[in-house]
């Protein structure tokens, strides 16, 4: 079925098949049914009937074109300059086309996974979608992601990106002392994400509410990339402190710190300064669990809202650090969000993922006029009791809708 | 867990280089679930006193990362202690995972 003599080499066709998994092979019909039926939202959005597929047919000659048009239930597109038509047809008709010598290829149309927005369980659990439905977007708030950077051209984040500042430069070359692999991303800016972690946190706090990927707790706050951690996910105390100081200098509303380590007086000084400048500082409690009285720094500093992590059963995540400094809990196990790798998505776990849920909610409150201190108390006053001890969850589980004054009883 | 670990110390002119190796000596793959951006750490002891730690002065991402170590495979983590004072020391290396720490240690002299 694949021609070699009409400008499309077999190699490039196979390469395309590998990249998109969209070409029908010899057993393509079964695969087509499985794959396209696997995403019913996508099929519904196209209005496809059962047993019907939308395909691109590359033809070799006008006879091939006529064959494709004849097989079509509906012609979706005829191209002017390339020998391709996009049609809807039955699986049976597809089979006939695949075996036609005048047809170069039959390819399933569409990027199924990119056409529907997923509501990640954590966003749902903290009822951020209730806030969205009531018109709360976080617009006007400035949220700094103090991390490994943010993917500057991620389609689910780009519209919300504000400033970027690098205290360690983006660099996707080479390996890592601590063994991690840099992200497959291009450093368009020195604050671009070469790791994935910062982009993941950014998406949790504030991914765009659109027709693709995920949605954040805030959806229209301005995200600022403050890159203090390198491609391997590590940064010096001085770089971290410089990033926190910078956020204080900017007077931004929220600083999200999904990072941790031992106590550092320099970072403590930076945290105190940023707090004095009005920044709502949020930190990951740490992943040393199960453990008691083990909250890491900077989360353990009194200026920082320390966030522990829960799973989708409202239990404490087994890795979550606990202690008297924990002020609130948020979802952190198996969180789906944006990554820098090819502008994609991935599932990560950690108190790093819990932290930006709270940062996004803090952004919502700051956008609605809550002061630094009122934001902190409001988050805690409206947190939901999920039956965990106070050193495990502080005031309870984040409830973004309740914090904003909405009924969140849907959960 | 069927992990076997070892650490070597190579003393150079102005630094000591460490190589920490963790091998899966079992018949099944092992998942290593790292707790943070810090996957493995080195500490140098002078008697009972810790005089140097690789992770000192740094902060790390707080997301788990899982790697599968196939049966028979090993994973190596490098480290280096710059400008050491003369003396006799012990280096202790361990994984930062939710599972076993696979501690290894060896003595060396500068």
Higher pLDDT among residues A13 and A365, named by residue: A365
From residue A404, alpha-carbon distances to A142, A258, A292 in Å are 17, 24, 32
The per-residue pLDDT for range A58-73, each reduced to its tens digit, is 999 999 999 999 999 9
Interface predicted TM-score (ipTM) of this complex, two decimals: 0.93
Residue B34, strand partner residues: B65, B97
Rounded CA separation A379/A128 (Å): 13
Q: Which helix (H) or strand (E) holds A53?
A: strand A52-59
Spot the catalytic one: A256, A258, A320, A352. A352
**Where are the strands (E) in A293-370, listed by range?**
304-310, 326-331, 335-338, 345-348
Side by side, the strands of the sheet bearing A222-227 are: A161-166, A222-227, A142-147, A254-257, A280-284, A304-310, A326-331
Task: Indicate if A27 belongs to the active site.
Answer: no
The per-residue pLDDT for range A158-215, each reduced to its tens digit, is 999 999 999 999 998 887 765 567 888 899 999 999 999 999 999 999 999 998 999 9
Contact yes or no for A347/A336 (Cβ under 8 A): yes
Domain B3-109 class?
mainly beta
Higher pLDDT among residues A294 and A342, named by residue: A294
Residues of chain B with pLDDT under 70: 1
Residue B104, strand partner residues: B93
B contacts of A180 (beta carbons < 8 Å): 37, 39, 65
In chain A, where does the domain assigned CATH 3.40.50.200 lie?
A: 121-403
> What DSSP string describes B5-66?
EEEEEEE-SSEEEEEEEEEE-SSS-EEEEESSS--EEEEEEETTEEEEETTTTEEEE---EE
Task: Indicate if A352 belongs to the active site.
Answer: yes
Q: What is the DSSP letter of A6?
A: S
Does 3.55.50.30 match the CATH number of domain A10-114?
Answer: no
**Among candidate residues A181, A177, A180, A217, the one with its CA nearest the CA of residue A201:** A217
From residue A364, alpha-carbon distances to A132, A140, A360, B40, B104 in Å are 10, 9, 6, 38, 48
**CATH number, span A121-403:** 3.40.50.200
Number of inter-chain CB pairs under 8 A, A vs B:
98
Judge: B37–A233 Cβ closer than 8 Å, yes or no: yes
Contact yes or no for B24/B71 (Cβ under 8 A): yes
Question: Nearest CA of chain B to the CA of A177: how many Å?
Answer: 6
Question: Nearest CA of chain B to the CA of A232: how many Å?
Answer: 7
The per-residue pLDDT for range A230-267, each reduced to its tens digit, is 999 999 999 999 999 999 999 999 999 999 999 999 99
Average pLDDT over every residue of A320-331: 98
> What DSSP string describes A207-252?
---SSSB---SSSSSEEEEEE-S-TTSEEEHHHHHHHHHHHHHHT-
B contacts of A262 (beta carbons < 8 Å): 55-56
Judge: A287–B79 Cβ closer than 8 Å, yes or no: no
Q: What is the pLDDT of residue A50?
A: 75
Q: What is the pLDDT of residue A28?
A: 35
Quote the mean pLDDT of chain A. 87
Query: Counting Cβ atoms within 10 Å, is residue A301 exposed (0-12), middle (13-18) or buried (19+)?
Result: buried
Does A193 touch chain B if contact means CB atoms closer than 8 Å? no
Q: What is the pLDDT of residue A38?
A: 42
Cβ within 8 Å of B, A 253-282: 258-262, 264, 267
In chain A, where does the domain assigned CATH 3.30.70.80 lie?
A: 10-114
> What DSSP string describes A151-182?
-TT-TTTGGGEEEEEESS----SS--TTS---
The per-residue pLDDT for range A15-44, each reduced to its tens digit, is 333 333 334 433 333 333 333 334 555 566
Token representation of residue A145: 């992601």
Token representation of residue A401: 């809708």
Helices A62-71 + A91-98 axis angle, to 10: 170
Question: Nearest CA of chain A to the CA of B57: how many Å?
Answer: 5
Task: Indicate if A197 belongs to the active site.
Answer: yes
Contact yes or no for A170/A227 (Cβ under 8 A): yes
Q: What is the pLDDT of residue A280?
A: 98
């Amino acid at each position: 079925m694949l021609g070699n003599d009409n400008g499309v080499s077999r190699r490039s066709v196979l390469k395309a098949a590998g990249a998109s998994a969209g070409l029908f092979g010899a057993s393509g019909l079964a695969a087509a049914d499985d794959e396209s039926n696997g995403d019913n939202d996508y099929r519904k959005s196209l209005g496809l009937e059962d047993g019907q597929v939308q395909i691109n047919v590359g033809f070799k000659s006008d006879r091939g074109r006529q064959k494709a048009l004849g097989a079509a239930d509906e012609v979706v597109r005829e191209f002017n300059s390339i020998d391709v038509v996009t049609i809807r047809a039955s699986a049976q008709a597809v089979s006939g086309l695949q075996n036609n010598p005048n047809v170069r290829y039959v390819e399933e149309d569409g990027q199924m996974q990119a056409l529907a927005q997923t509501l990640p369980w954590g966003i749902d659990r903290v009822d951020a979608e209730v806030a969205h439905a009531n018109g709360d977007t976080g617009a006007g708030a400035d949220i700094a992601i103090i991390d490994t950077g943010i993917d500057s051209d991620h389609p689910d984040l780009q519209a919300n990106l504000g400033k970027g500042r690098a205290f360690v430069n983006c660099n996707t070359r080479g390996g890592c002392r601590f063994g991690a692999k840099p992200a497959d991303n291009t450093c368009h800016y020195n604050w671009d994400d070469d790791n994935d972690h910062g982009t993941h946190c950014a998406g949790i706090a504030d991914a765009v509410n659109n027709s693709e990927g995920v949605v954040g707790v805030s959806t229209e706050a301005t995200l600022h990339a403050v890159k203090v951690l390198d491609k391997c996910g590590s940064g010096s105390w001085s770089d971290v402190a410089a990033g926190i100081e910078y956020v204080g200098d900017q007077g931004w509303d929220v600083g999200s710190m999904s990072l941790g380590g031992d106590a550092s007086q320099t970072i403590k000084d930076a945290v105190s300064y940023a707090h004095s400048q009005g920044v709502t500082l949020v930190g990951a409690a740490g992943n040393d669990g199960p453990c008691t009285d083990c909250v890491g720094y900077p989360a353990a500093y009194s200026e920082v809202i320390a966030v522990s992590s829960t799973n989708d059963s409202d239990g404490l995540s087994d890795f979550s650090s606990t202690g008297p400094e924990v002020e609130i809990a948020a979802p952190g196990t198996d969180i789906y969000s944006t990554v820098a790798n090819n502008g994609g998505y991935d599932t990560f776990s950690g108190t790093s993922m819990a932290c930006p849920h709270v940062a996004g909610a803090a952004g919502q409150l700051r956008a609605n006029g809550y002061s630094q201190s009122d934001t902190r108390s409001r988050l805690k006053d409206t947190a939901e009791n999920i039956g965990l001890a106070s050193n495990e969850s502080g005031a309870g589980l984040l409830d973004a809708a309740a914090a904003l004054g909405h009924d969140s009883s849907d959960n | 867990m069927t992990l076997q670990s070892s650490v070597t110390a190579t003393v150079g002119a102005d630094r000591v280089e460490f190589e920490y190796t963790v091998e899966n000596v079992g018949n099944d793959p092992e998942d290593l679930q790292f707790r943070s951006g810090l996957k493995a750490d080195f500490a140098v002891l002078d008697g009972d006193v810790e005089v140097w730690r690789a992770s000192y002065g740094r902060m790390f991402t707080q997301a788990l990362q899982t790697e599968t170590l196939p049966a028979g495979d090993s994973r190596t983590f490098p480290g280096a202690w710059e400008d050491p004072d003369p003396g006799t020391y012990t280096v202790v290396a361990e994984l930062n995972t939710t599972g076993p720490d696979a501690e290894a240690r060896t003595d060396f002299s500068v």
